[in-house]
Structure 1
């Protein structure tokens, strides 16, 4: 679970998904984990917030959301934790966690 304070990114192309959503999807995919990222909406001290909360499956695809950029919403998705463990093996040669080399970090 990722509580956030996502704000607009300078030079964000309007036709692309919000950078925050792309980062949540990439994090879920590269770690083989479900990610629930919750952002706020509205403006505080002249700072706008993105909203666009989402729940991402362990392969990096949205399971719910992105939510509204302006209105409060509740997102729900079913998650199967055993599924996440199974999907970490992308193919016979790629396991997102086992193939890491922490000895060379």
Structure 2
């Protein structure tokens, strides 16, 4: 029974990581978001804001800097119009192709 050295383990992890990244990049096409797409829905230009209340529900938003869509915890009031009910309403209608971002933990 051979126990790999820390260097061998690190090499294996790097190999798997780089191989995984290249496969993911092949599966996710570049977004085709155009200026006309942004103009057709001005909500895309607004920042995502979770709002001031604490009645948290998961919503979708468009991240113009990352040209991607993701989920966030919306507090139930205030915020901006860059807030969508479903993935299809936000991502597929705005970017056509998208990268998924999930919300991090439940807000306290």
Give the TM-score of the pair, scaled to structure 1. 0.26
Higher strand share: 1
Larger radius of gyration: 2
Higher relative contact order (CA 8 A, sep 6+): 2
Give the TM-score of the pair, scaled to structure 2. 0.26
